Amino acid sequence: MAYFAVMKCAVVLLLLLVSLGRAQAQTNDVDWGPMLNSAQQWAQENLDDDVLKALQTVDRKQVEGFLQHYQDYLRGDYVLDMAQLREAAQTILPLLDAHEETQPYAAWLRARLDYFEVADDLRVITPAPKPVPNQPTPPTPNPSFKTEEEVWVKKVAPRPWPKGAAEAVPKMKAIFASERVPEALVWLAEVESGFDARAESPAGAYGMFQLMPATAKSYGLSLWPFDERRQLDPATHAAGQHLRRLHGSFKDWRLTVAAYNCGEGTVRRLMQRYKTNSYERIATHLPAETQMYVPKVEATIQLREGLALEDLKVPATAQK
């Protein structure tokens, strides 16, 4: 396949994914049809037969549904809806992975495929509410944090260390210790990116720790001409500083991890609304991704370090 044809293929995919990232900050009521039709028409006019054949391996409706529902998922608070996106995500991933230009998006998506799988597991085991005579059946509630935690423990239990973790983890632990952050939290990088520094989200988060541009800049990282979010040392220092600051605000590691994922303001507003300092009390009201993220992080740290989030301690060397 010619280089420029591959580039054009990547452009189509990037337009779709970047549009998703931008729409998150605007509205849930996005009509993806015209955008996809326009991309399809452009592709037919500009791409060669090999590229068109590759694009056609992804069904248009699957792409449209994946983008729309994944957007809803990121902004919504209903976990079980994610189950319907499992097949679409698995279909899109190989196409993203096939081209160097879109592999950063593939790395980001690959680290999140198990969200769809766990949502499917939860859908099966979560009991539906009992019907009330002459009343519409209410929706099945979000599973509790404890239920999600149990599923995630089983999900991550058989996993070997990700590629690159053996080299990265010792360096990251030393940096986190220097930043007065529990060393076990370096396993956030497995959940965020699978230790793949190329990972890039449609919303613009980069690197192993998936730092957003504003967050990275606030901790002194440069985004140009070389993006330090993709460099182990500066990115790990920034992630450690960010976690330390969030924990200083929340005094609880589950709340801290939730805020790392969905933002300090979101967590703070829910704490105020429900008049609580407990993560479990607000868990089912958080964005769906965060509801998945926190128990996945905890299950991963339990697997790798034998520790629960609530048991994490600041490194002794940093307490002196």
pTM here?
A: 0.79
Q: What is the mean pLDDT of residues 6-20?
A: 44
**Residue 72 pLDDT level (bands cut at 50, 70, 90):** low
Rg (CA), the chain: 20
Given this model, what pLDDT does residue 23 score? 37
Beta bridge partners of 20: none
Q: Which residues contact residue 225 at a Cβ distance below 8 angstroms, ignoring those fewer than 6 apart?
A: none
Given this model, what pLDDT does residue 254 score? 97
297 half-sphere exposure, CB direction, 13 A CA radius: 27
What φ, ψ does residue 256 adopt, rounded to 5°?
-65, -45
Residue with tokens 């280089």: 3
CB atoms within 10 A of CB 198: 16
Contact between 186 and 236 under an 8 Å Cβ cutoff? The reply is: yes
Which residues carry out catalysis?
192
Determine the Cα–Cα distance for residues 153 and 270; give it in Å rounded to an integer: 26
**Residue 263 pLDDT level (bands cut at 50, 70, 90):** very high
Residue 67 in this model has a pLDDT that exceeds 90: no
Structure tokens, 260:
């790392």
- Domains annotated for the chain, with CATH where assigned, are 3-125 (no CATH), 163-319 (1.10.530.10)
Determine the Cα–Cα distance for residues 155 and 25; give it in Å rounded to an integer: 31
Residue 39 in this model has a pLDDT that exceeds 50: no
Residue 62 in this model has a pLDDT that exceeds 70: no
Instruction: Give SS3 for 147.
Output: helix
Residue with tokens 């859908």: 123
Q: Which residues contact residue 4 at a Cβ distance below 8 angstroms, ignoring those fewer than 6 apart?
A: none
Q: Which residues contact residue 81 at a Cβ distance below 8 angstroms, ignoring those fewer than 6 apart?
A: 69, 72, 73, 119, 288
* Nearest one of 141, 114, 115 to 127, comparing CA atoms: 141
* Nearest one of 54, 63, 107 to 85, comparing CA atoms: 63
